[in-house]
């Protein structure tokens, strides 16, 4: 019990979940290759000591929407009743 509970729009939730998954999870396959792509984009910006450009930010958000759907569909195939790829629908 305890802790802070709050709501957030589905798009923000998808971005936060995928930022977390991309940072903490490691593995093989197409989802993880996309996580590496996002990491590479963010690493370049960090090395150049700048924020992501508008185009980079849009690319990262699009990739994260895609990985969310892929991850959730995989969870569904594995029988997870809480998996819901439709959350990422625009």
| 73 inside domain | yes
For the segment 34-87, what is each residue's pLDDT rounded down to a tens digit? 999 999 999 999 999 999 999 999 999 999 999 999 999 999 999 999 999 999
Domain housing 51: 12-78
13-40 tens-digit pLDDT: 999 999 999 999 999 999 999 999 999 9
- For residue 55, tell me if it sits in a domain: yes
Q: Is residue 4, in this structure, part of any structural domain at all?
A: no
Tokens of 47: 């090395």
On whether residue 3 sits in a domain, the answer given is: no
How does residue 90 score in pLDDT terms, banded at 50, 70 and 90? confident
Number of domains, the chain:
1
How confident is residue 2, by pLDDT bands cut at 50, 70 and 90? low
Instruction: Specify whether the CB–CB gap between 65 and 14 falls below 8 A.
Output: yes
Residue with tokens 């910006």: 45
């Amino acid at each position: 019990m305890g802790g802070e509970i709050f709501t957030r729009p589905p798009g923000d939730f998808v971005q936060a979940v995928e930022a977390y998954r991309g940072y903490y999870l490691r593995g093989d396959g197409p989802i993880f290759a996309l996580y590496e792509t996002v990491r590479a984009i963010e690493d370049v910006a960090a090395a150049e000591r700048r924020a992501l450009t508008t185009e980079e930010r849009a690319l990262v958000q699009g990739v994260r929407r895609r990985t969310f759907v892929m991850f959730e569909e995989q969870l569904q195939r594995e029988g997870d009743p809480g998996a819901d790829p439709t959350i990422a629908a625009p």
